[in-house]
Structures are given as structure tokens and as C-alpha cells.
Amino acid sequence: MATIKDYGNGKFRIVASNGRRHDGKPNRASWTIEAKSMKEAEKKAVELEYEFKHGKKKSISKKYSFNDLINEWRKSDRYQQMSPKTIERYEGMLKHKLIPAFGVWPLVDIRPLDIMHFIASLRKPGARLDINNQNPYSDKTIQGYYIILHSLFDDAVRWEMMSENVCDKVDKPSIKKHKAKFYEEEQIDRLLECLDLEGKTLEISLKKRNPNHRGKSEQEKRELMEERRYLYHMHKAYVYLALASAGRRSEVCGLDWIDINFDTTYMIMEKTLQYTKSAGKFSRPYLKNGDTCKSMFLPEAVIEILKEYKVEQEQYKEILGDKWVQTGKVFTAVNGDLINPNNISLWFKRFLKRYELPYITLHEVRHTSISFMLMQNVPIEVVAERAGHRDTSVTSGIYGHVFEENKKKAAQTIEKMFTIKGAV
């Protein structure tokens, strides 16, 4: 008969035996359960012992810790096949929260209640490590912690380090739907106006004597001036292309010049460029979710901006000479090498602040593009394809507020039917 140990607070330890293993050691299994009374624990013990002796419950011969699980997980094929970006995100979650919370715990001692308490701790003010940010973690981040725990415990069960996945007994944290933040049509116009103003301001500035150029050679001065002009044209081209393509930052930064046909205005996106602290800048030959590519036609206005930018890039390359690194990329670092996508985000944030424009992220420039197309009644199938969504349900789920606005416009249009002169 199984033995039961009362730990108090409704927690019981059950150990069942079933002969000996092939190595001669006792074949035992143990579980930590919750029960209201010893009688209830005894009833559960009978069930667990029966399942164990009939092969439904596996014997865990060693008391593995959470740290043991992480060590095995890092050796797994699945871990080795993850992208550097995903590994960096998961390792950060482990380092900052999961290992401090569960590291030395035996896996068999982790209960559903412990998972619930951990999730609740992430919702408390001050849960973030950044002392300047006292907000709790976002719903999406909290759900991410649950997902990685669930995945890890699934592996532990498959590898016979745990008898069951305790996360199955905990509800997956939900995410409150938020409106995708984006610019309205008038704000898009203002954004583009400010980009033009930035160029005019730059040219005025370049004609003035720059104290930072003191002591530098004429070649060095020329390089520094042309660098500023190059960065302006690159940033302007990026915003135009991001608005036109609804591309993700990694997709836009991953573009090569050969991906854009100026004659047909046709563009192919089939690579992404990303950055992590450990791996640095790296390119992947596919898009998000493993998609191979997406293609589209670009507006003539965007093609003209790209042409202007390419001319500027060629001039800048000529000035730099051997200092220029040939990558064939549309958007580059100031020496032609792969760009760190974070640098464009940093520039955009400063640009918006400089011109007192409402703050949005580069990803919300993508939202702006998609929302604009939907507001112009572009078929949702076309929008979903351009956005790189797997199907239209993803598009409608994220941009439901735009559809509601279109419904209102439809009602206003129909209203005109009843205000026609002479209508009864």
C-alpha cells in the first residue's frame, strides 16, 4: 500500500512501490498532492498507486530539480534549432524570473498553486527588474511566462523527469485586447511633411561652419557631412517603404537592392535582419513564422524616394572608398555594413520628439499602414497578404476597431438613401 506523509496546509506526499527495476533498485513513484483531509489523500493515493502499477503513471526514479530540466532543455534539438532572437528572449525570462523562482525546486514538488502564485507575482507593481518602471508586466509577457513553463514541463514529462504537467491544471493567462495604435490620415501627412522639413533643416545646417570639424582634414569633413546627408535619406526612405509595405522592422531592414525592381515597382521580401546581444547582427533567409516570402507592388512616390536614396548611397560609397562594406543591403550602417535595427527605432523616437509628433513605435508604423488600407476599403485578403498574416482572421482580430469604423461609415452612406430629395 502507498505511504502518505502529511506536510500540512493541505499538502500530502504519496509514495507507491511496484517491485524492482531492471537494475535491482526499488521501482517507486512519488507525488505531491493537495487534499482537504487525510481521508481524501488516502483515496487519491489508491488511485495513483493503481495507475502506477498498471502502467498509467510513470516512475520517476530521481528527484530532478528545475535547474536539471533547464540543463537538459539546453542540450535538446529544439533548443539548438531556435533562432538567436528566441533564445535570447527565453534565456532572459529564465535568468530574471523563472530560475530565481523555481531553480532548486524538485520538479515533483512544484504544484499548480505554485504556478498560480508565480503568475500572480508578475501582475504586482514593481515586478519588473527596472526600478524606474513600477508597472506590472503586460498581459502578453505574463502569458509568455506561462507558455514557456508549460513547454518546459511538457518536455520534462516526455523525458520522464515529471509524471505530469502541472501547468495543465492552471488556466492560461488571458490577454486583454488593445486597439492597435496608429496614425490617422492627417497625422501621416504631418509625418511626411516633417521628413521633408528635416531635409531642408539639414541642408541649412550643412552650410554652416561646424565646430566639431575643427582640426579635421577636408576629406574627413566631407565624409562627416555626407554621412549626415546619407542617414537622412536612409531614414526617410525607411519610413516611406515601411508605410507602403506594412513590413515588420526586421523585414524592411532585411531588404537587398536586388529585391526591388524600379521598372516594374515590384518588391519581394524574403529575408529578415535581426540583432541580439550574444549573436550581434544576423540575417535569416525567411520571414516571421517561417514564411518563405511575400511580394507586392510599390507606389510610384515610394519608388522615387528609393531612387533618390540609392543615388545618395552611391555618392556616399564613392566618398568612403575602401571604408565602405559591400553588403548589397538597402538600409545599412554608416559604413555599409549590416545595420542594427534598434538604431532606426532610436532615430525614429528622437525624430517624433523633435517635431512634437504623437509617439508611435516603428511597429505601429506597420499598424498605420494596415489600418489605412482597411479604412480605404482595400479587400481584407489583399491586406492580410501584404501584412504577412497567415489568414484574414489574424487581420480582423487585430484591427477589429477599423472594421467597426467602416461599419459606421457604411451606415452614414446608407443614410443618404433616405435624404434624397423627394423621398417619402
**Three-state secondary structure of 92-148:** HHHHHHHHHHHCCCEHHHCCHHHHHHHHHHHCCCCCCCCCCCCCCCCHHHHHHHHHH
Give residues with Cβ within 8 angstroms of 129, minimum separation 6. Answer: 96
pLDDT in tens, 195-206: 999 999 999 998
| The pLDDT of residue 51 is above 70 | yes
Burial of 17 from C-beta contacts in 10 A (0-12 / 13-18 / 19+): middle
- Grid cell, residue 191, equals 509625418
Q: What is the pLDDT of residue 290?
A: 67
Radius of gyration of the CA atoms of the chain, in A: 29
How many Cβ atoms from other residues are within 10 Å of residue 221's Cβ? 14
| The pLDDT of residue 306 is above 80 | yes
- Cell 520534462 -> residue: 156
Strongest mean pLDDT among 11-25, 152-166, 186-200, 369-383: 186-200
- What value does the mean pLDDT take over residues 382-391? 84
pLDDT in tens, 307-328: 999 999 999 999 999 999 999 9
The domain 66-169 is placed in CATH, from the list 3.90.480.10, 3.40.640.10, 1.10.150.130, 3.30.360.10, at 1.10.150.130
Instruction: List the single range of 52-61, 185-194, 346-355, 408-417 with lowest mean pLDDT.
Output: 52-61
- What value does the mean pLDDT take over residues 275-302? 86
Strongest mean pLDDT among 166-180, 190-204, 387-401: 190-204
| The pLDDT of residue 353 is above 50 | yes
Provide the angle, in degrees to the nearest 10, between the axes of the packed helices 362-375 and 185-207.
Answer: 130
Q: Which pTM value belongs to this model?
A: 0.72
- What value does the mean pLDDT take over residues 34-42? 89
Q: What is the pLDDT of residue 303?
A: 97
Domain ranges of the chain: 3-53, 66-169, 185-410
pLDDT in tens, 202-246: 999 988 878 777 788 888 888 999 999 999 999 999 999 999 999
Q: What is the pLDDT of residue 354?
A: 96
pLDDT in tens, 100-113: 999 999 998 899 99
Say how far apart CA 295 and CA 416 lie, in whole Å: 39
- What value does the mean pLDDT take over residues 119-146? 85
| The pLDDT of residue 387 is above 90 | no
**185-410: CATH topology:** hpI Integrase; Chain A (1.10.443)
> Mind spelling out the 3-state secondary structure of the chain?
CCEEEEEECCEEEEEEEEEECCCCCEEEEEEEEECCCHHHHHHHHHHHHHHHHCCCCCCCCCCCEHHHHHHHHHHCHHHHCCCHHHHHHHHHHHHHHHHHHHCCCEHHHCCHHHHHHHHHHHCCCCCCCCCCCCCCCCHHHHHHHHHHHHHHHHHHHHCCCCCCCHHHHCCCCCCCCCCCCCCCHHHHHHHHHHHHHHHHHHHHHHHCCCHHHCCCCHHHHHHHHHHHHHHHHHHHHHHHHHHHHCCCHHHHHCCEHHHEECCCCEEEECCEEEEECCCEEEEECCCHHHCCCEEEECCHHHHHHHHHHHHHHHHHHHHHHHHCCCCCECCECCCCCECCHHHHHHHHHHHHHHCCCCCCCHHHHHHHHHHHHHHCCCCHHHHHHHHCCCCHHHHHHHCHHHHHHHHHHHHHHHHHHHHCCCCC
Give the confidence band of 11 by pLDDT, cuts at 50, 70, 90.
confident
| The pLDDT of residue 60 is above 60 | no
- Provide the percentage of residues in the chain whose pLDDT is more than 70: 89
Give the confidence band of 424 by pLDDT, cuts at 50, 70, 90.
very low
Say how far apart CA 99 and CA 89 lie, in whole Å: 14
| The pLDDT of residue 347 is above 80 | yes
- Grid cell, residue 289, equals 513564422
Phi and psi at 350, nearest 5°, equal: -70, -35
Instruction: List the single range of 244-258, 310-324, 391-405 with lowest mean pLDDT.
Output: 391-405
| The pLDDT of residue 16 is above 90 | no
